[in-house]
Structure 1
Amino acid sequence: MGRCPVPYLRRLIQDRNQHPPASLDANPGTAPDLATWPAVGSTRFRRSEATAPIGQGDQVWERATQDVLRWAVKARSGFTVDDARKVTPGSELTITARMAGVTIREPVRVATVVENDTRVGFSYRTLPGHPVTGEEAFIVHRDGDDVFVTVRSLTAPGNEQPWRALYPLLRIAQVIARRRYLRALR
């Protein structure tokens, strides 16, 4: 594509082509350590948060907190995780999705891990080669005896083709995956 002669459109194209994870460093991302996810000013990322009950009691809490820190939300939702050990900040791994005979590799880096008496979970950021750009968090939390899972995500189109062009279809796949995530720890 040649140079765009209209300055406004040129700036929009340049903004779109910037690598969005760099802009994640300027905000709290998915903030898995916080009970309330703070709204950030304008962003290029599509923001999503969903919560579902898992069950009640200490046994449910113990099981769910162990599972969430070992990628069970992804694994039980149809993904393959190349390292199912307990998450650690900075660890890099590849998640694999297989759909309709197509294998999709999703390189990621664990950004934040939180473990306290009422909240356990982590967030990860996408790396180059991932179909989308952004951050996702899986959080198990409790309110009294009730145990919940929350999934938060910030998503933008990936920088590479064919993923950028396929972003509308990837959004549909994300909605389906999110439903599975919310059932994965029951």
Structure 2
Amino acid sequence: MSTPEVTRAAGAFTYREVGATRLGPLPDGYHHLHHRTRIGRGRTVFDAAGSALTTWRLHRATGVRVRADVARARPGGTVELSLGVGPVAVSGRCEVVWTVYGRDRTGFGYGTLAGHPERGEESFVVDLRDDGSVWFTVMAFSRADRWYTRAGGPFVRLLQRAYARRLGRTLRRLAAA
């Protein structure tokens, strides 16, 4: 298995615990999200899922607008994610903190930059297990950083969980195609 790449840009992130989604544990003082979805079986599914994940295709397939300065996730790459239309559009910039491109594990974690509605980090990982099953895991820690995310309270957490489930369903479809 390859060694994950990690970057730490001093002062660029809106939180201190940069890289915590790579190995855990997730830091105290944040809301935690951990969602796992079985994607399918076999090397072909794993390779397709890893490619869709690390080239931003997964995020785009869920209806999120993606502007990335890298075609494939790599440490230091930035991505702006936007959802909604006009005055109800919400967007946030993130920087890829770490990546792993291994034989049985592919994924990355990114952290929030100034102006993002939340503070924290989120990771997306595809694993090929010994039994041939392929799993997708979303793990995050975050807290509100704007008035509207603070006002949204528990509703924001519900949306985050729903989005993680949607990512899993979408990745299952993309990897099977």
Please confirm whether the aligned pair reaches a TM-score higher than 0.5, indicating the same fold. Answer: yes
CA contact (8 A) 2:33 2:161 kept: no
Indicate how the Cα distance of structure 1 residues 77 and 101 shifts in structure 2: closer, same or farther if over 3 A, else same.
Answer: farther
The question of 1:43 aligning with 2:28 is answered yes
% identical equivalent positions? 27
Cα displacement (A) at 1:165: 2.6
Give the alignment's TM-score, normalised by structure 2.
0.80
Q: Match for residue 53 of structure 1?
A: 38
Indicate how the Cα distance of structure 1 residues 118 and 106 shifts in structure 2: closer, same or farther if over 3 A, else same.
Answer: same
Q: Match for residue 155 of structure 1?
A: 142
Larger of the two Rg values belongs to structure: 1
Aligned residues: 158
In the TM superposition, 1:66-105 aligns within 5 A as 66-83=51-68, 85-98=71-84, 102-105=88-91
Runs ≥4 residues deviating over 4 A:
none
Give the alignment's TM-score, normalised by structure 1.
0.76
Separation in structure 2 between the aligned mates of residue 29 and residue 82 of structure 1, nearest angstrom: 24
Once structures 1 and 2 are overlaid, which stretch shifts more, 117-126 or 96-105? 96-105
Gaps spanning 5+ residues in structure 1: where? 1-19
The question of 1:23 aligning with 2:9 is answered no
Q: Match for residue 112 of structure 1?
A: 98
Name the structure with the higher helix share.
2
Once structures 1 and 2 are overlaid, which stretch shifts more, 165-174 or 73-82? 165-174
Q: Match for residue 122 of structure 1?
A: 108
Separation in structure 2 between the aligned mates of residue 142 and residue 129 of structure 1, nearest angstrom: 36
Separation in structure 1 between the aligned mates of residue 40 and residue 86 of structure 2, nearest angstrom: 33
Q: Match for residue 160 of structure 2?
A: 174
RMSD: 2.2
Separation in structure 2 between the aligned mates of residue 99 and residue 173 of structure 1, nearest angstrom: 17
Indicate how the Cα distance of structure 1 residues 114 and 60 shifts in structure 2: closer, same or farther if over 3 A, else same.
Answer: same
Separation in structure 2 between the aligned mates of residue 169 and residue 68 of structure 1, nearest angstrom: 26
CA contact (8 A) 2:75 2:98 kept: yes
Q: Relative contact order, CA 8 A, sep 6+: which one is greater?
A: 2
Separation in structure 1 between the aligned mates of residue 115 and residue 149 of structure 2, nearest angstrom: 9
